Amino acid sequence: MTNRKVKIYPRFERIWHWSQMVLIVALLVTGMGLNGLHGLFPFKVAVMIHIIAALALLALWVFATFWLFTTGTWRQFIPRFEGLLKVARFYAFGIFKGEEHPYTKVLWRKHNPLQVIAYFGLKILVFPAIWSTGILYLTYNFWESAPDSGFWLEIIANLHLLAAYVILAFIIIHFYLLTVGHGFLAHVRPMITGFDEVELTSEQENYLTENEPWRLVDEGGEKDG
């Protein structure tokens, strides 16, 4: 195995990541305002920003889902339990003792087992919950005449809020983990440049050198293809 800097985050994935971050922050800030936690925006302005950001994020997720399945990247998010206990122990204890991370990135598996489970849970449970409840909440005028609609609206609103708090908790934990280990910039830089250090077998290195040389860092520096 050889450690090489390889482009493992393509341009679309990086645009998706940062666009999603901006839109989710906008939704969280305006959502908190709509729930009375601050008064940064007038109510109508907060509603408008919230709806626009929500529709933009939904459109982004549709494109991202299409990209995940057409490129085969969805396989990165299928949970694998091999090494999970070691990673969990590292985050629970080892990280505070200065131990090395037990997971090493490889070309076709850039997320550690705990990350994969977290992302899988978000994509399968939390995101669909916030999509469906948000759409039902937004279209309440179309079904308000249904029996017990007020009761169901309260349930929907609380589920929407719960999903939002789960996403907020994920962001806080995600940001915290970016500050430990090799440092904040070292963790963030790959999602800006696309390049990160991974272990390659000799076959993988030869394949990239011959067929996709733009994915490897050479003496000329990182090339953004």
- In the 8-state DSSP scheme, what is residue 6? E
Mean pLDDT for the chain overall: 88
Which pLDDT belongs to residue 220? 45
| Rounded Cα gap, residues 44 and 51, in angstroms | 11
| Rounded Cα gap, residues 19 and 56, in angstroms | 9
| Rounded Cα gap, residues 114 and 123, in angstroms | 14
Statement: residue 168 has pLDDT above 60: yes
Distance from the Cα of residue 220 to its chain's centroid: 31
| Rounded Cα gap, residues 203 and 106, in angstroms | 13
Which pLDDT belongs to residue 219? 42
The CA-CA-CA angle for residues 208, 211, 213, to 5°, reads 55
pLDDT band per the 50, 70, 90 thresholds, residue 225: very low
pLDDT band per the 50, 70, 90 thresholds, residue 218: low
| Rounded Cα gap, residues 64 and 162, in angstroms | 24
Among 108, 188, 225, which Cα is nearest to 216's?
225
> What domains can be seen in the chain, in order of their start residue?
2-214 (1.20.950.20)
| Tens of pLDDT, residues 124-147 | 999 999 999 999 999 999 999 999
Average pLDDT (95-118) is 84
Statement: residue 156 has pLDDT above 90: yes
Q: Coil, helix or strand for 208?
A: helix
| Rounded Cα gap, residues 20 and 12, in angstroms | 12
Average pLDDT (214-223) is 64
Instruction: Say which residue, 20 or 213, is predicted with more confidence.
Output: 20
Helix 11-34 and helix 43-71: axis angle, to 10°?
Answer: 150
Q: Count H helices, E strands: the chain? A: 9, 2
| Tens of pLDDT, residues 172-215 | 999 988 887 677 888 899 999 999 988 888 888 888 888 888 88
- In the 8-state DSSP scheme, what is residue 100? P
Q: Give yes or no for a contact between 90 and 101, defined as CB atoms under 8 angstroms apart.
A: yes
Helical ranges in the chain per DSSP H: 11-34, 43-71, 84-92, 113-121, 127-138, 140-143, 149-178, 184-193, 202-211
